[in-house]
Structure 1
Amino acid sequence: MKDALLELGTDFLSAIVFFVLYLVSGSAVLGTSVAIATAIAQVAYARAKGRPLGFMTYASLGLVVVLGTVTLLTNDPRFMFAKPAIAHFAVGIIMLKRGWMSRYVPPVVAETIPEYVMAAGYAWAALMFVLGIGTIAVAMTGDLKLWAIYISVVAAGAKVAAFAIQFITFRLVTTSRIRAARA
Structure 2
Amino acid sequence: MKSVFARLASDFLSTIVFLIVYVVTDNVILATSVAIAGAIAQVIYARVRSTSLGYMTYASLALVIVLGTATILTEDPRFVLAKPSIAHFAIGAIMLKRGWMLRYMPPRVTEVIPEYVTAAGYVWAALMFALGAGTIAVAMTGDLKLWAFYVSVVAVGAKIAAFALQYLIFRVIITSRLRAAARA
- TM beyond 0.5: yes
In the other structure, the counterpart of 2:61 is 61
- Tell me the percent identity: 64
In the other structure, the counterpart of 2:139 is 139
1:5-58 CA-partner distances (Å, limit 9, x unpaired): 4443333232222223222332212321222223223333444433241x3222
Q: Which amino acid aligns with 2:66?
A: V
Relative to structure 1, is the Cα distance of residues 118 and 14 closer, same or farther in structure 2, using a 3 angstrom cutoff? farther
State the Cα RMSD in Å: 3.3
Gapped regions of structure 2 (runs ≥ 5): none
The answer to whether residue 40 in structure 2 is matched with residue 49 in structure 1 is no
Q: Which has the larger radius of gyration?
A: 2
TM-score (norm 2): 0.74
Q: Which amino acid aligns with 1:124?
A: W
CA contact (8 A) 2:96 2:125 kept: yes
How many residues align structurally? 179
CA distance in 2 between counterparts of 1:10 and 1:102 reads 27
Gapped regions of structure 1 (runs ≥ 5): none
TM-score (norm 1): 0.75
CA contact (8 A) 1:109 1:174 kept: no
Relative to structure 1, is the Cα distance of residues 40 and 117 closer, same or farther in structure 2, using a 3 angstrom cutoff? farther
5 Å-filtered alignment, 1:44-123, equals 44-47=44-47, 48-53=49-54, 55-101=55-101, 105=104, 108=107, 112=111, 114-123=114-123
